[in-house]
Structure 1
Amino acid sequence: MQTIHKYLDPVALSRIGGMELVARLVVEGFVTGLHKSPYQGFSVEFAEHRQYMPGDEIRYIDWKVYGKSDRFYVKKFEEETNLRAYILLDTSASMNYKHNDNNLTKFEYGCYLAATLTYLMLKQRDSVGLALFDTDITQYIPPRGAATHLRAIMNALENATPGEETELSSLFHELAKRIVRRGLVIVISDLLDEPSQVISALKHLRHQKHEVIVLHLLDHAEMTFPYKGSVIFRDMETGQTLSTQADSLKSAYLEKLNEFIQSYRRGCGASQIDYVQMDTTTPFDHALSAYLSRRK
């Protein structure tokens, strides 16, 4: 398998390509747990044009386009599927962190996850969209199910770069207002914000009848605090620095980190939000396939 897209890894696709991401809750009237066939009883919606070829049905010729171009084009339609997915990817400055130069940054890891999930859902004939955000929503691509949509999302990921600081709660509230049609919302972020406020915003998405999955990305160093001796820490979003003895901070840091993670785990669990913590030193396809296997 070959791919020309930066964040589509052929090895990962061979590992995950046969798996499914199905919704668990009721989305737009469909009872989940099974992926319904896109060919039986589904309505269709216009997807794109392509040039007329011998054998195409004449009724699908777009005569308005013919009048403008003097060429025959037919309308292509796509089946309206039972799953509409929205991938929300955090591109704030903190996502650019990696402890080891041989590892992926949290941002790169998130891009690989977003690309693979997009490929997987389009392969299932589902619709998928993408939102990138830091201080604002920097790009929003509405869900589509057309095969050509893969390129649009891949281009957005490949052209994205980590930006500024973010306030997750306000961004999620804004996205909850923008995403009107119910579906599956997948959040990919390091969640470096006040957990209670972020959980409140995620509940807003649940209140809108979306199913929500949170993929919480942390570098292994953020989880283990391997630093020793005199260290200068720099906040990647504000630029502020702190000079300290790492040994004296480790115990308190790990305690605070555990509280931070448990706040998200409990808050998400109480709101039927699927919370998944991912160590970015674990190959992303291993982490994703393990999650999809558990989710069945």
Structure 2
Amino acid sequence: MPSHASVPHLGQLTPYHVFDPSGSQPVRTMRFHGSQRLNLMRPTRMPASSRRYTLGDPVQLIDWRAFARTEQLVIREHFDEASCRIRILVEDSPTMNWPDPRLLKAIGRQVCTKRELSWRLALHLCYQYLKAGDHVKLYRLQGSDLQQVTMRSPTELAIHFEQLQKTAFENFEKVPIEPRSLSAMQAERSDVFIWISDGLSGIPQWLLDKKGPLTSWIHALSSLEADVSWMRMDDSYFEEAPVHREYLGDVLLEKQHLQKGIAQWVESVQNQWLKSHRHYLQVHDMSSIQRYLFHLEQSWHTAKAALTGERIG
């Protein structure tokens, strides 16, 4: 596995990342497909708001000084942005605890769990949406129990982040959380809905059926699922179904059983999601923050972004 020590990665993501981590070139403020640009049809002198006049445009928007200079009819419009209803759901299932400390100690690696990665992503997005003036709700789903993380401002969210970071995002006792009805949340209207999960519990049918202009899945995996070179040759791994089998690490690595199995599963759930929705983004803890921010500005549609193909990281 190549060294990522010099590249800021998602295991280090904070709510405040809005610029190119290299510092060489600032990235424009990102709205992550939230707040929507509106043409308010007000006159302005800003050149960036100019376009050619077309029949039917209000004459009061014509820049007559520009016409006197160029004999071209130019419209200058003022653009503003309207806030959106943002809903972010983090699936906090038992599989998000992986990799566990015993495995990390055995292989001599220090990477964050999928839970920590997911909450870093969720709090980063919430912070940016709140700063943009959007109406944001953040939910935590554990089995069938749904909770809403209370946050009223970017400052309050930053405090939550600092508290959670101290416990590797495992202890929510100091973060204000309120129980919510799962069915009510499912029926809630939203302009942007983001599901953050490793997908190992399957994709809920209600999510596949969910209607809306932008329903997205951030597929949060571990870098140890993307690269299995950490496996030890003499370890035994068991498969319970359809027939109980035992595999040694060297066999799995040599025949690439595990790599192929992971790739096939990722492609399967990805295709299942993309039959219902257009927006999918796969990341892991060693994915570059810079590339992650770049992809957020794009359409999010990565139809074949599987572990075996072009991926974030």
| TM value normalised by structure 1 | 0.60
| Gap regions ≥5 residues in structure 2 | 1-11, 21-26, 43-80, 173-180, 240-244, 301-313
**CA pair 84-294 structure 1, distance change in 2 beyond 3 A:** same
**Segment drifting more, 173-182 vs 272-281:** 173-182
1:6-52 per-residue CA deviation (whole Å, 9 max, x = no partner) reads: 97355x244467222115xxxxxxxx8x43499x9xxxxxxxxxxxx
Gaps of 5+ in 1: 1-5, 24-31, 41-79, 164-172, 236-241
Please tell me whether the aligned partners of residues 215 and 276 of structure 1 are also in contact (alpha carbons under 8 angstroms): yes
Aligned match of 2:145: 137
Match for residue 94 of structure 1?
A: 95
1:7 and 1:111 in contact (8 A); partners too: no
Q: Please tell me the residue identity of whatever aligns with 2:123.
A: A
Are 1:19 and 2:30 matched, yes or no? yes
Question: Given the alignment of the two structures, is residue 181 of structure 1 paired with residue 192 of structure 2, yes or no?
Answer: no
Q: Distance in 2 between matches of 1:7 and 1:222?
A: 19
| 2:37 counterpart SS class | coil
1:193 corresponds to which residue? Answer: 201
Equivalent position of 1:289 in the other structure: 293
The alignment covers a number of residue pairs equal to: 219
How far off is 1:153 after superposition?
A: 5.8
Which position in structure 1 is the counterpart of 2:257?
A: 252
- CA shift at 1:181, angstroms? 2.0
Contact 2:90–2:139 under 8 Å retained in 1: yes
Letter of the aligned partner of 1:270 in structure 2?
A: K
Corresponding residue for 2:57? none
Deviation at 1:292, TM superposition (A): 1.5
Residues 1:266 and 2:271 aligned together: yes
Q: Provide the residue aligned with 1:35 in structure 2.
A: 37
Instruction: Decide whether aligned partners of structure 1 residues 180 and 293 sit closer, same or farther in structure 2, where only a CA change above 3 A counts.
Output: closer
Q: 1:117: Cα distance to partner?
A: 0.5
User: Distance in 1 between the 2:28 and 2:123 partners?
Assistant: 12
User: Closer, same or farther in 2 for the Cα pair 1:232/1:140, shift >3 Å?
Assistant: farther
Aligned partners of 2:135, 2:282: CA distance in 1, in Å? 25
1:99-150 Cα offsets, whole Å, 9 max, x none, are 5642222111112111111111111110111111222335214786x55663
| 1:20 and 1:124 in contact (8 A); partners too | yes
1:85 aligns to what?
86
Contact 2:86–2:193 under 8 Å retained in 1: yes
Cα pair 2:127 2:154 within 8 Å, conserved: no
1:108 alignment counterpart:
116
| Displacement after TM superposition at 1:233 (Å) | 5.4
Among candidates 208, 211, 215, match of residue 214 of structure 2? 211
| Cα distance in structure 1, aligned partners of 2:151 and 2:216 | 17
Percent of aligned pairs with the same amino acid:
20
Q: Report the Cα distance in structure 1 between the residues aligned to 2:238 and 2:138, rounded to whole angstroms.
A: 30
TM normalised by structure 2 equals: 0.57
Shift of 1:177: 5.1
For the pair shown, the structure with the greater C-alpha radius of gyration is 2
- Kindly indicate whether residue 284 of structure 2 is the aligned counterpart of residue 279 of structure 1: yes
Indicate the residue corresponding to 2:157 in structure 1.
Answer: 150
Q: Which amino acid aligns with 1:35?
A: R
Do the aligned residues in 2 keep the contact of 1:131 with 1:137 (CA within 8 Å)?
A: no
Q: Which amino acid aligns with 1:231?
A: D
* Counterparts in 2 of 1:140 and 1:210: CA distance versus 1, 3 Å: farther
**Counterpart-to-counterpart distance in 1, 2:189 and 2:234:** 52
